[in-house]
Structure 1
Amino acid sequence: MALRSFVSEAEAELRCGAEGSGGDGSRPGPAIAKKSRKKSQNPNKESRNRKPGSPFKSFEATVHHRRRTPSLRDGLRLFASFGSAPDPTCEVTQLSPCPGKKSLADMEETLRTGHFTVIKGPSSGRRWIRGESIGRGSLGTVYQAMDQQTGELLAVKEVVINASDSADMKFKDQLENEIQIVKELKHPRIVAYLGHDYMGDSLCIYLEFMAGGSLAQALRQFGCFEESLLLAYTREMLEGLEYLHTRETPVVHRDIKGANVLVDLDCHAKLSDFGCSKRDNDTMSHTMRGSIPWMAPEVIKNTGYGRKADIWSFGCVVIEMATAKSPWGSFDNPMAAMCKIAMSDATPPIPEGVSPACQDFIRLCTRRDPADRPDATRLLAHDILKNVIVEDD
């Protein structure tokens, strides 16, 4: 009842601009996961010293002493102390701050509904603090994070799952499929898997943090690559594909594109985002997966496809690196793109700004008949890559 009363008062303040609220009700307060500069305002410390019998005593005493209407910031402090329910026996080990800045309306909605994410002790034992959003994968949002025990930076892919929603449960199955694939992959050209946890209604996958971002981001910011850099990344991507395609149980990535090739601080390229991947001795698939401009014709036509579809998509990434544009240029709509790729005899335009040898390499990758495309091992032996030496630091 005390919590409901407080929420009602906070709502009234937000609607009417109650006097005495100062600046607290006019803009969002500090991120909940951050420590307050004043020790007296540290809710976590207060919650540890509070006696189990009176969870609201300290907060109510503060409010009566100030003789003013509780502000929005007070509400956030209260939620930071107790999480989603005022249970003094509830062990809260980590709070999950909302990404980015929240509007006042969002803060009001949080108070009204009580929707506040509390992350309890992770089963992996990893304790981490979530930072800013750094991208979206095929199934979830990816955040930068820091391990509280080691200081290690990592990427956390998080998907919120509604157990009563069949579509969400399907997404959960796909994400678990990604976990089963990536946890067995150990290669310098594959983004490393570091573990996973179920946290409340979220599934979090911990991955190697790639500080250089994606190839797509670099191309948008800096434009197309010089051929020497293009060939270095080409070789590294092929090494990753060869590893996937020649495993005892082969893995077909099914979503090769610039946005899914990440770069580390040492400027090495690695394949990421296995949310669409398939691991099976029978590598032929009959479901449409991937991103349309990078899709092979057989994927769109749904005639069955395998590892050679990854080679087509890889060739499209080489075009992307050479032009800083989508491999086919622009289309009016997705249906036009699908018709062009699947129904015509066309192949992606060959960039004019690269050498004839590089143009020949691209043509090999983008042959319409999958049987005519070389595999990753043969492409690594191409003349254009023989003198490209990539050394891991």
Structure 2
Amino acid sequence: DPTSRFERYAESLGKGAYKEVFKAFDTEEGVEVAWNQLRIDHLVKRDAARIVKEIEILQSLRNDNIINLYHSWTAKDKDGRDKVFFITELMTSGTLKSYIRKTKGVVKPKVLKSWCRQILSGLHYLHTRDPPIIHRDLKCENVFINGNNGQAKIGDLGLAIVKERDHVSSVLGTPEFMAPELYDEKYDEKVDIYAFGMMVLEIVTKEYPYSECHNQAQIYKKVTSGIRPLALNKVPDDDVRFFIETCIQFDPRYRPTALQLLRHPFL
């Protein structure tokens, strides 16, 4: 990096089509961090500029329940390809998804409520920025757990979009967690509330919502017709089921805000 503050280790933490994450060392703070590198050479100039702008916005966020982004720069890699580099805090215990998979039996109510409160307070922070920031791809794989204190943080804000108009258009995300209005490309921050409800459903049932569907088209059909996932019938506790149903209502106007959910009697 241009400041020589961060030293990248050889150890790769994960690799996608355009993104790779390494462990690194912050020489100033004496802590390990995550070194993210994102290829942008395949994008048209406008999209590349948008990503750089989004990263700048993410860098301005500071909250206990969001993976904080400390530093970013653009540079060419060894092959001469344009890349965006950014340093985020390192979460050592993996994702909420891996946590649910590792633990046997039912997630205890106290733990469930603690996770819910933390995720909601992160969402409340994002949604109350000016303009609001919509995550758009909230799911258990994108929430990270700090194993030694149980802290939950929302990460992977890569799809997070700043809402400058009344509605944002472009369909991206994970079908099982996508609110019906996302398909119409007219949506606001309530899509995150819907996805949050689906996350809670996955935490308590330990199964992916709409696993009864065999492909994305079937999920699309059910979601846009207002047919709820079968997993909802497997939620034994009425209070939990009612809480989930409140979040995944078909009409976004009836879904509560993150702040209203934080004040919900269930929590």
**Fold match by TM threshold 0.5:** yes
CA shift for structure 1 position 147: 3.0
Do the aligned partners of 2:144 and 2:155 also contact (CA within 8 Å) in 1? yes
- Within the candidate set 39, 57, 65, 1:160 is matched to 39
Distance 2:58 2:214 in 1: 36
Kindly state the Cα deviation for residue 125 of structure 1 after the two structures are TM-superposed: 3.2
Of 59, 62, 67, the match for 1:191: 67
Alignment of 1:274 onto 2:157:
yes
Distance 2:27 2:261 in 1: 43
8 Å CA contact 2:131, 2:164 repeated in 1: yes
3-state SS of paired residue (1:207):
strand
The match for 1:346 among 227, 238, 242 is 227
| Deviation per residue, 1:206-234 (Å, 9 max, x gap) | 00111121111212232552222111100
Q: Tell me the secondary structure at the aligned position of residue 275 of structure 1.
A: helix
Separation in 1, partners of 2:165, 2:23: 36
**Aligned counterparts of 1:139 and 1:266: Cα–Cα separation in 2:** 32
SS in 1 for 2:199: helix
Q: Confirm or deny that 1:220 pairs with 2:101.
A: yes
Segments of 5+ residues of structure 2 without an aligned counterpart are 78-82
CA distance in 2 between counterparts of 1:326 and 1:306 reads 24
Q: Which residue of 2 aligns with 1:361?
A: 243
Match of 1:205 in 2: 86
- Compute the TM-score of the two structures, normalised by the length of structure 2: 0.88
Tell me: CA distance 1:171–1:215, structure 2 relative to 1, closer, same or farther (3 Å): farther
List aligned pairs for 1:7-18, cutoff 5 A.
Answer: none
Contact 1:319 1:351 in 2 (8 A): no
Cα deviation, residue 365, structure 1: 0.1
Which residue of structure 2 lines up, in the alignment, with residue 373 of structure 1?
255
The CA deviation string for residues 135-163 of structure 1, in whole angstroms up to 9 with x for no partner, is 3579522222223565411112212343x
Q: Please identify, of 144-153 and 232-241, the stretch whose mean Cα deviation from structure 2 is larger.
A: 144-153
Q: Answer yes or no: is 1:172 the counterpart of 2:54.
A: no
Looking at structure 1, the residues matched to 38 and 56 of structure 2 have their Cα atoms a distance apart, in angstroms, of: 16
SS at match of 1:350: helix
CA distance in 1, matches of 2:216, 2:111: 31
- Matched with 1:64 is none
> How much does 1:132 deviate?
2.8
RMSD: 2.2
Q: Which residue does 2:132 correspond to in 1?
A: 250
Q: Secondary structure at the match of 1:382?
A: coil
Residue of structure 1 in register with 2:80 after alignment = none
Structure 1 regions of 5+ residues with no counterpart? 1-121, 386-393
Provide the residue aligned with 1:319 in structure 2: 201
Partner Cα distance (2:177, 2:75) in 1: 34
Matches within 5 A, 1:16-95: none
**Could you tell me whether the CA contact under 8 Å between 2:6 and 2:24 is conserved in 1?**
no
**Rg (Cα) greater in structure:** 1
- Percent pairwise identity: 29
Q: What amino acid does structure 2 have at the position aligned with 1:153?
A: E
Q: As a proportion of its length, which structure holds more strand? A: 2
Is 1:286 the counterpart of 2:169 in the alignment?
yes
Letter paired with 2:99: A
Whether 2:57 is the aligned partner of 1:181: answer yes
Contact persistence 1:215–1:259 (CA under 8 A) = yes
- Identify if the C-alpha distance between structure 1 residues 166 and 383 changes in structure 2 by more than 3 Å, giving closer, same or farther: closer
Aligned residues: 259
Query: Are 1:124 and 2:7 matched, yes or no?
Result: no
Whether the aligned pair in 1 keeps the contact of 2:205 and 2:234 (CA below 8 Å) is no
State the shift of 1:170 in Å: 6.2
Distance change (3 Å), C-alpha of 1:195 and 1:138: farther
Aligned mates of 2:236, 2:110 — CA distance in 1: 10
Contact 1:139–1:275 (CA under 8 A) maintained in structure 2 = no
**Cα separation, partners in 2 of 1:345 and 1:166, compared to 1, 3 Å:** closer
| Larger RCO (alpha carbons 8 Å, 6+ apart) | 2
DSSP 3-state at the match of 1:383: coil
Distance change >3 Å, CA 139–CA 317, structure 1 → 2: farther
* Matched-pair contact (CA < 8 Å) for 1:137–1:273: no
